[in-house]
Amino acid sequence: MAQKTGKQTYLITRPVYVKNAASVVGPREKAGPLGKYFEAWEDEDFGEDTWEKGESRFVGAALTSLLTKEKVSSDEIDCVLSGDLENQCTASSCGLKDSNIPYFGVFGACSTMGESLALGTLLVDGGGFHNVICMTSSNFCAAEKQFRFPMELGGQRPPTAQCTVTGAGAILLTDTPCKTRITHVTPGIIENYQIKDANNMGAAMAPACASTVKMHLMDLGRTAADYDLIVSGDLGILGGGLFKEIMELHGYPVSNHKDCGELIFDPKTQDTFSGGSGCGCSAVVLASYILREMNAGRWNRVLFVATGALMSPVSVKQGDPILGIAHGVVFENL
């Protein structure tokens, strides 16, 4: 059973391993700098007549790809934890409706991958669950329609804006030994710095990311240098800079930091402003690039911190601040 260490961090005592991971992305992600790490890609609508149905297909495709790779049947999976940005998480539920796997829908905005991984790890650590799939998805077009404007409306977005990633990433956690295991999880608290600009999510999330990373390091008596890599979810170029500045301010300088939102697109050629965002952003980057490079031995201890901006179109219109949250998970090679 997980052991509480310090204020927010839990040591995983019954080993939880990463068995395998799968991702399916959209065309823009495939064309980006990490393109070669993504094994499959599809158009945003996945051949369906609505963006929402398309996103569900991404969820289903990521799950199928993971099960096929591992040659396991859905009966062997104890549960799947999945979330997305659509109203009431329908992309996940519709995408998994034919899977016959017990399903928990989770929501933590763009931090959902961290949330589902942390919860999945604790389930396996608890002893009752043996194989758990953690996954999330997002879709550029569905998110634009829900949170911003119709696709065909002509207009510009400010340079602080981020671009929702299209794709779904899935990770299979198990209790049978594999190369990479999860050693700690640090669930985050909500940080509110009164950021109200819905076009500047990076700034809303950076304090939450710093809050979780700082508590994690404090709880374990570690410094950032104890990790080969600290990877944040979707702070983007702007938020990533703010995160490092806040860490510096609190006496925890971070030099080995990468951000999934910054990695996935090339802002010079792809017109993606401050970088990628969305539930799918950290999920597909972790499930492909990060875990594959870990498997190849490039990094041996990685702190993954998925970051989320908790808001809805209604809360933004009503003038509420955009709240930040971040959940940390430590991956370590044996």
Partner 1 sequence: MSGNLEHLTEKQYQVMASSKEQKSKLWKDCMMAFLFGGLICIIAQTIKDFLLSSYFAENVYGFDEEGAAAITTMIMVFLGAFLTAINVYDNLGRIAGAGSAVPITGFANSIVSPAMEFRSEGHILGVGAQMFIVAGPVLVYGTSSAVLVGLLYFLLK
Partner 2 sequence: MGLLVKYLLVFIIGGVLCAIAQVLLDKTKLTSARILVIYVVSGVFLSAVGIYSKLVAIGGCGATIPLLGFGHALCQGVFKAVDELGFRGIFTGGLGAVATGIVMAVVFGLIASFVSKPKSKIQ
Give least dist CB 150 to partner 1, A.
Answer: 4
Regarding 312 and contact with partner 2 (CB under 8 A), the answer is: no
Q: Return the closest-CA partner of residue 259 out of 217, 288, 290.
A: 290
Nearer to partner 1, 294 or 325 (CB): 325
Scanning 38-46, 124-132, 177-185, 246-254 for contacts with partner 2 by CB under 8 A, the matching segment is 38-46
28, 57, 214, 216: residue in contact with partner 2 (rule CB under 8 A): 28
Scanning 85-93, 144-152, 186-194, 292-300 for contacts with partner 2 by CB under 8 A, the matching segment is 144-152
Nearer to partner 1, 50 or 68 (CB): 50
Regarding 47 and contact with partner 2 (CB under 8 A), the answer is: no
Query: Pairing state of beta strands 301-310 and 229-232?
Result: parallel
Q: Which does 127 bind (CB under 5 to 8 A by kind): partner 2, partner 1, none?
A: none
The angle at the Cα of 112, spanning 10 to 203, to the nearest 5 degrees, equals 95
Nearer to partner 2, 39 or 197 (CB): 197
The helix/strand/coil state of 121 is helix
Q: Which does 195 bind (CB under 5 to 8 A by kind): partner 1, partner 2, none?
A: partner 1
Q: Side chain identity at 207, as an amino acid letter? A: P
On whether the CB atoms of residues 95 and 262 are closer than 8 A, the answer is no
Name the token pair of 45.
């609508």
Give least dist CB 122 to partner 2, A.
Answer: 37
On whether the CB atoms of residues 61 and 47 are closer than 8 A, the answer is no
Q: Which does 214 bind (CB under 5 to 8 A by kind): partner 1, partner 2, none?
A: partner 1
C-alpha span between 137 and 250 (Å, rounded): 33
Q: Which does 296 bind (CB under 5 to 8 A by kind): partner 1, partner 2, none?
A: none
Q: Which does 220 bind (CB under 5 to 8 A by kind): partner 1, partner 2, none?
A: none
On whether the CB atoms of residues 304 and 331 are closer than 8 A, the answer is yes
Beta-bridge mates of residue 108: 110
C-alpha span between 73 and 64 (Å, rounded): 10
Q: Which does 295 bind (CB under 5 to 8 A by kind): partner 2, partner 1, none?
A: none
The separation between the first and the last C-alpha atoms of the chain, rounded to the nearest angstrom, is: 20
Q: Which does 12 bind (CB under 5 to 8 A by kind): partner 1, partner 2, none?
A: none
Give the contacts of 10 (CB within 8 A, at least 6 positions apart).
Answer: 2, 3, 4, 122, 184, 185, 186, 187
Give least dist CB 152 to partner 2, A.
Answer: 5
User: In the complex, which residues of this chain contact partner 1 (CB under 8 A)?
Assistant: 49-52, 145, 149-156, 158-160, 189, 191-195, 200, 203, 206-207, 210-212, 214-215, 238, 241-242, 245-246, 249-250, 271, 274
Scanning 37-45, 112-120, 306-314, 324-332 for contacts with partner 2 by CB under 8 A, the matching segment is 37-45
Give least dist CB 196 to partner 2, A.
Answer: 9
Phi-psi region of 281 (alpha: psi -120 to 50; beta: other; left: phi over 0): alpha
The angle at the Cα of 98, spanning 92 to 104, to the nearest 5 degrees, equals 40
Q: Return the closest-CA partner of residue 327 out of 6, 81, 113.
A: 113
Name the token pair of 8.
């927010």
Q: Which does 44 bind (CB under 5 to 8 A by kind): partner 1, partner 2, none?
A: partner 2
Positions touching partner 2 (CB under 8 A) are 26-28, 31, 43-45, 140-141, 150-152, 155-156, 158, 197, 269-272
